Amino acid sequence: MRSTSETKPRTPINISVGLFKPITPWSHAPGKTAGDVTVTCEASEPAPGITVTGPTGSIFHPTVSSFVSKYLLFGDDHNVLILSSGTGPGPVGRAVSIIDFTGPSPVERLVFLSMSNSAAVNEPIVHGSPGNGKAFLIWSSSGNKIQNVAIHRSDNGQVICEGPHPFAPTGTISADATPQSLIIRYSILMQQFEKRAANGHPSETKHANHDPGIGYRRSLKIYSKL
């Protein structure tokens, strides 16, 4: 389930042209600093959790019982994603959130909630946009299907290119930015899917028996107007 946050971008973002690159695995190192942002991870009692300190203050993400917390610190603006993962037997819940420093004080905003068949299922995968890391591609796995595929802004987490509903992939998932579009590439049973958004009206076409090809596409002109 994706966040339905009502946050609105305050400024346009400039995403460099090229292929998004992996920035996972997630970290649980005790501390890391980049620029004016510091992340401190405390795994033990009495107050396990992650503290993020940045240009507009500090915020604490508590680690609840039977969960572990990890983080990613990435991009030229030193953005922070936090992952909370269940550790119990059987299906486990996972939540990804972002620390938003765009307001007068930091806010933790939900990116998505998901369920996985067990704690052994791969953690959510994150790819950062080329160059400055102004956007990121993310998805999670239930163990059987890929879910929560989308490209988000790195400053406040808002979705700027939404991917398909849960699906069983037959190839790799990737994203890239062109001068005109953001593109999520994926394949299902050697069929090619393409979804475009023009003037806020999405449309979808399916081309059977093609090589794995273009996934969901959204015009850069649309997100630059948000």
pLDDT, tens digit (0-9, with 9 covering 90-100), for 162-219: 988 899 888 889 999 988 889 998 887 655 554 443 333 343 434 333 344 445 444 4
pTM given for the model: 0.84
pLDDT, tens digit (0-9, with 9 covering 90-100), for 60-114: 999 999 999 999 999 999 999 999 999 988 899 999 999 999 999 999 999 999 9
Q: What is the pLDDT of residue 206?
A: 43
Question: Pairing relation of β-strands 181-186 and 57-62?
Answer: unpaired
Q: What is the pLDDT of residue 189?
A: 67
pLDDT band at 8 (very low <50, low <70, confident <90, very high): low
**Domain presence at residue 13:** no
**Domain presence at residue 156:** yes
Q: What is the pLDDT of residue 20?
A: 96
**Domain presence at residue 9:** no
**Domain presence at residue 11:** no
Domain hosting 178: range is: 18-224
**Domain presence at residue 60:** yes
**Domain presence at residue 1:** no
Q: What is the pLDDT of residue 172?
A: 87
Q: How many domains does the chain have?
A: 1
Per-chain mean pLDDT for the chain:
84
**Domain presence at residue 3:** no
**Domain presence at residue 42:** yes
